[in-house]
Amino acid sequence: MAINWFKYSSPASFYSLAGKMIPFFTVIAIILLAAGLYVGFFIAPTDFQQGEAYRIIFIHVPAAWMSMFLYVVMAFWAGIGLAFNTRLSAMFASAIAPTGAMFTFVALWTGSLWGKPMWGTWWVWDARLTSELILLFLYIGFMSLQAAIDDPRRADKAGAIIALVGVVNIPIIYFSVQWWNTLHQGASVSVNQAPSMATTMLLGMLIMVFASWMYSIAIILKRIRVIILERESHTSWVAELQKKGTVS
């Protein structure tokens, strides 16, 4: 029985699928958030060097990882939308951008508040911090470019160009700590060698990473439903939704 996955590439059927998935991801996000914060604050011990300030790691690292990951996903959907002219893919890129920008801002903000006690400065033009700031500008550039163009389809194409060109910045951020000698520390957690972190600290951080994944999926699906309604308002299926008064 071959499942016709392409059925969900039509905004109408994806709209209802997304509606069914949102509560599922929201509940998991809340549970993981509670677990992550509990491990982070009540089980992970005091750090012998940084004392309690290191507990910012439980939102700084997930936010930073999400800011990079969401940009790659956004660029992927923007590329697909550009290549195959599929409306829903482009809508996905527009739905991801605000959440990615939010995580980038949170990564910069929490990093700066962590840097002040530990490095003695809110900001330094360090390779890692500067490339993350450029990432924030890329997100804002993507959103404002799309907002500046009236016709959604042309806005998608223009946005796709920025998204695809900006992808080069992601490896720069990731490897910046190795290519330049940065004030920002190197990767404590990487795929090719064991993490140099205490297990409970690592556990708290990883739970928060999954919590931010679940949150991102839920919030992006919620936003894409609104985008679908906005863009497909001329269609008959949206008109039916209105008549039934279930434009939820």
- Residue 10, SS3? coil
Among 102, 127, 163, 214, binds another protein (CB under 8 A): 102
Indicate whether 98 belongs to the interface with another protein (CB under 8 A). yes
Which of 162, 156, 179, 169 lies closest to 67, judged by CA?
A: 169
What residues from 161 to 190 belong to the interface with another protein (CB under 8 A)? 185, 188
x/- letters, 34..53, toward another protein (CB under 8 A): -------xxxxxxxxxxxxx
Among 18, 56, 163, 207, binds another protein (CB under 8 A): 56
Query: C-alpha angle with apex 117: 47 to 208, nearest 5 degrees?
Result: 55
Indicate whether 146 belongs to the interface with another protein (CB under 8 A). no
Which of 11, 14, 19 lies closest to 232, judged by CA?
A: 11
> Minimal distance in Å, beta carbon 93 to another protein?
17
Site size toward another protein (CB under 8 A) is 49
Q: Which two tokens stand for residue 212?
A: 């931010």
Residue 243 makes CB contacts below 8 A (sequence gap 6+) with none
> Minimal distance in Å, beta carbon 103 to another protein?
8
Report the C-alpha gap between 217 and 161 in whole angstroms. Answer: 24
Indicate whether 149 belongs to the interface with another protein (CB under 8 A). no
Ranges of H-type helices in the chain: 11-38, 57-84, 87-119, 127-148, 152-166, 169-179, 199-231, 236-244
Among 18, 32, 39, 59, binds another protein (CB under 8 A): 59
Among 127, 201, 209, 214, binds another protein (CB under 8 A): 201
Nearest-Å Rg of the Cα atoms of the chain is 20
The residues of the shown chain that bind another protein, judged by CB under 8 A, are 41-57, 59-60, 63, 98-99, 102, 105-106, 109-110, 113-114, 116-117, 185, 188, 196-198, 201, 215, 219, 222-223, 226, 229-230, 233, 239, 242-243, 247
